[in-house]
Amino acid sequence: MILGEHFDLIIRDAMIIQEHEIVRADLGILNGKIAAIEKNISEPAWEEICASGLYVFPGMIDTHVHCNEPGRTEWEGFSTATRSLAAGGVTTFLICHSIVYHPQLRSLVLTQNKQQHPCLRA
């Protein structure tokens, strides 16, 4: 950090989940990015959050999400699925269509697969 500069946010005394360990530390945010993870950040911040007893996880990736849209949106649609993912800490996801529930989509996918893969052609 540049001398005299403030962090935008410091999350104090958090249990921070890292690749190979969990550390109790402060997390300094500057310009929307993690700028420091230290035992006790001494630089000032515009805002601070006491996270004692709380965990900070990295954003998670879910590579298999079914949103049931188009189709069964009364059960779960794109809006409810994405809100649930965000609430659970998921920052990136890949949608897998539930073709079992969508006859038109199932037919389209099977037709495309047959056209693209010679061993599937009848």
Give per-residue pLDDT as tens, 5-23: 799 999 999 999 998 999 9
**What integer pLDDT is reported at residue 13 of this predicted model?**
97
Q: Give the global pTM.
A: 0.58
Within a domain: 2: no
Exposed/middle/buried for residue 50 (C-beta within 10 Å: 0-12, 13-18, 19+): exposed
Within a domain: 1: no
The reply to whether 51 and 71 lie within a common domain is no
| Number of domains within the chain | 2
Give per-residue pLDDT as tens, 48-86: 999 999 999 888 888 888 776 666 666 677 788 888 888
Bridge partners, 33 (sequence order): 30
The reply to whether 11 and 42 lie within a common domain is yes
Bridge partners, 83 (sequence order): none
